[in-house]
Amino acid sequence: MDKLTHKERKDIPVFTGFLNYFPDAIREVAKASRIANEQHNPNTPVHWDRSKSGDELDALSRHLLECGTMDDDGILHSTKVAWRAMANLQKELESRGEAFLSKYNHLEDKIK
């Protein structure tokens, strides 16, 4: 399956089951993305430079050890845990060929 059907899309409550649950946390993760982009790719549009981000679970764990405190760049370590968790999940879905919205989806690899 390379894309969801109309019914399958309607059965996934993106707004009510995610955005509505965690609006402030999502905003903080988005803010962290902007700040990190300026740090790693100054003066470019916000984007995930995957060449500079590959150790999601190790980085998540390092930030997890300092949850509840602020990192030296002004971003909560908990925010960075959330970002790394989402990055890891995204890559995992892609590697399984289940990231139908991603240009990095490896569905073709599953078919071979």
Q: Is the pLDDT of residue 112 over 50?
A: no
> pLDDT value at position 80?
98
Rounded-to-integer distance, Cα 71 and Cα 58, Å: 16
Rounded-to-integer distance, Cα 84 and Cα 104, Å: 17
Q: What is the pLDDT of residues 73-97, one digit of tens each?
A: 999 999 999 999 999 999 999 999 8
> pLDDT value at position 111?
44
pLDDT, averaged across the chain: 91
Is the residue at 22 inside a domain?
yes
Q: How far is CA 84 from CA 64, 94, 112, in A?
A: 10, 15, 30
Is the residue at 13 inside a domain?
yes
More confident residue, 50 or 27: 27
> pLDDT value at position 109?
52
Is the residue at 89 inside a domain?
yes
Is the residue at 96 inside a domain?
yes
Whether pTM > 0.85 for this model: the answer is yes
Is the residue at 47 inside a domain?
yes
Range of the domain at 89: 6-111
> pLDDT value at position 53?
75
Q: Is the pLDDT of residue 16 over 70?
A: yes
Q: Is the pLDDT of residue 1 over 50?
A: no
Number of domains in the chain: 1
Is the residue at 1 inside a domain?
no
